[in-house]
Chains A and B, each alone.
Chain A
Amino acid sequence: MTLLITVIAAVVATILWYTNEQRKTYKLGTLALMYWGASLMWFIDFVFEYAELKAEYFNQAFADILNDTLLGVSVVVLGLVAWVIILLIKDPKGVLRK
């Protein structure tokens, strides 16, 4: 679930980057790359776990799925927080310097 939620966040961020004219100002590329980086790493984690557990990997308890979902949502929120911090530090519109 964590991988799935992070991939969804990466796809949404990429669509925003592609469609938004102010992609450079708002550092949307950085946000998309952050989520893609994490998605690729979790994909490798999934491949190794799947190789070990095979089909058993998909037979998870509801509590585990819920925990993974909560983790995925937290990861997306943390990614957004990191992006906002980067945006405020770089301050491309000079709002904080005014």
Chain B
Amino acid sequence: MACFLVPAAEAVVVTAAYFVVKKKEQKLQAPKLSGASGIDQEEKKITWSKRLSWLLALLWGGVFLLAFEHFWHGEIVPFPPFLTAMSNPADAAEMFHEMLTVGVSMAVIVTAAWGAICAIVSANVKKVNAAKPVKDK
């Protein structure tokens, strides 16, 4: 009915977090680019903005395609109240129940999948960084 609204809300929050993190990273990156910092440039690192961009692609992609599915089934209309379930209280109650069960589960599984992706990538990057000095010799 409107289960995708829960991941959509998460996507909005993550988008805001992404821009804040990106700005902070750019501030930290500026001295590095000018060569003022002695921080090792060779070490591979996955930034938090990069990690959040993966979550954004998962969330917005899913939300966009699910919104289309809801439109296909006539559950979303391009005029108020936009969600057909909102037109009567019984359907609205069912919709809120679905958002709390299906919607929350969707947000949790997507976030968990993203966590797994981040863990795998971090482990691989650690392996690459650990192997680097040996290779250089």
Contacts and interface: CB of A to CB of B under 8 A. Distances in A.
A37 B14 CA distance: 15
Interface stretch (B21-29, B60-68, B88-96): B60-68
B46 interface: no
B113 A36 contact: yes
Nearest to B65: A38
B44 to A, nearest CB: 15
A36 B64 CA distance: 12
Contact of A37 (B68, B69, B101, B110): B110
B86 interface: no
B interface, over-half SS = helix
The binding surface of chain A is classed by DSSP as: helix
Contacts, number: 79
Given A41-B7, A48-B105, A33 B61 contact: yes
B105 A44 contact: yes
B91 to A, nearest CB: 17
Interface in B41-69: 54, 57-66, 68-69
Given A71-B69, A74-B72, A38 B61 contact: yes
B110 A41 contact: yes
Interface in A51-98: 71, 74-75, 78-79, 82
Interface in B1-36: 3-4, 7
A41 to B, nearest CB: 4
Contacts of B63: 37, 41
A38 B72 contact: no
Give the top 9 A-B pairs by smallest Cβ distance, nearest first.
A34-B61, A37-B62, A33-B57, A37-B58, A38-B65, A37-B61, A41-B62, A38-B62, A41-B106
